[in-house]
């Protein structure tokens, strides 16, 4: 069997190189590009890329031998533009972010519902004062996206005694959900939901899913999380909804423009919590395991796990 050349295009190149060399994968030559100049000089040799999508995109036109790109991230939307080539297999990482996403969502949620920042402030002022709160038991959690991440968040919600609803393209039943609906039911579901979590990918159907009209259906005391893709939420409409009391709070880890500009009004919105797109990091150990399994499948001519449908966008 002929040798395959893998090119690493990641901020974690050295880590990936150590992990994959230790795996002793057959017929694999491993190269790494730590600078744009190195990437330009090596891209023509690569049959396979293990890459961050944004690093790979400008090089695709010169990747003459490319047959497979393994993204080190879950999100690959930058590679799905109509102008990008599609004559290769594109896979993303799945099944490893559920625990991390669940930690993020419920860490933020419990901090808000138990008013932990308020007590921290009181501690600095030596103030002994209790404030009323409600538990999560009996509350309704609505999750948009019922894949592995959504299912993990759903199971955590059920642990807290929450009623868990889901929205997906198909509306098919999924583990951890009490009920799953298609997108057409979203407005009705928002009126029932205390916590709304979007883990949706960036597709034509999800672009600006949350607009002024959508926020009008939310419960005024509800909390919105966006940990999927920033394009699902219309930024100005969200700001207007928060100011008007259409929902109580928003927690955003993803944004329409990243990095978020310093002059964005999101920074200073009182009932909004933001983090710099770090709710679930792609740990190299996890990604390398996925690559190793897929490489063996690749050599055997078997279907690859996590393969992206260019038309669907996921």
* Residues assigned a catalytic role: 229, 258, 277
- Of all helices (H) and strands (E), which one includes residue 197? strand 195-198
Maximum separation of any 2 CA atoms in the chain, in Å: 72
d(CA 158, CA 92): 28
**Residue 307, C-beta contacts closer than 8 angstroms, at least 6 positions apart:** 89, 90, 91
Burial of 37 (0-12, 13-18, 19+ CB in 10 A): exposed
Number of Cβ atoms within 10 Å of the Cβ of 22:
9
Instruction: State the residue for tokens 């004559």.
Output: 87
Using DSSP bridges, classify how beta strands 4-9 and 28-32 pair: parallel, antiparallel or unpaired: parallel
Instruction: State the residue for tokens 């008007």.
Output: 244
Burial of 224 (0-12, 13-18, 19+ CB in 10 A): buried
Contact criterion met (CB below 8 Å) for 138 and 163:
yes
């Amino acid at each position: 069997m002929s040798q395959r050349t893998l090119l690493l295009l990641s901020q974690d190149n050295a880590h990936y190189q150590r992990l994959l060399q230790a795996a002793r994968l057959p017929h694999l030559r491993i190269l790494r590009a730590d600078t744009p100049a190195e990437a330009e000089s090596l891209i023509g040799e690569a049959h396979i890329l293990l890459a961050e999508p944004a690093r790979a995109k400008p090089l695709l036109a010169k990747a003459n031998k490319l047959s497979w790109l393994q993204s080190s991230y879950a999100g690959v939307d930058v590679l799905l533009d109509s102008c990008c080539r599609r004559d290769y297999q594109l896979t993303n990482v799945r099944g490893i972010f559920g625990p991390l996403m669940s930690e993020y969502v419920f860490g933020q949620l419990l901090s808000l519902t138990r008013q932990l920042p308020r007590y921290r402030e009181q501690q600095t002022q030596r103030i002994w004062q209790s404030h009323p709160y409600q538990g999560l038991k009996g509350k309704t959690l609505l999750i948009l996206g019922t894949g592995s991440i959504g299912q993990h968040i759903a199971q955590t919600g059920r642990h807290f005694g929450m009623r868990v609803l889901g929205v997906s393209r198909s509306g098919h039943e999924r583990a951890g959900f009490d009920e799953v609906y298609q997108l057409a039911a979203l407005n009705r579901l928002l009126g029932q939901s205390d916590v709304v979590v979007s883990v949706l990918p960036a597709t034509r159907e999800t672009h600006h899913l949350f607009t002024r009209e959508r926020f009008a259906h939310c419960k005024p005391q509800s909390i919105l999380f966006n940990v999927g893709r920033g394009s699902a939420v219309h930024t100005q409409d969200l700001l207007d909804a928060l100011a008007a009391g259409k929902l109580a709070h928003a927690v955003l880890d993803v944004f329409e423009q990243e990095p978020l500009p310093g002059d964005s009004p999101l920074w200073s919105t009182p009932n909004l919590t933001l983090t710099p797109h770090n709710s679930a990091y792609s740990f190299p150990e996890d990604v390398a395991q996925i690559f190793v399994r897929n490489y063996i499948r690749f050599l055997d001519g078997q279907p690859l796990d996590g393969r992206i449908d260019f038309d669907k966008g996921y």
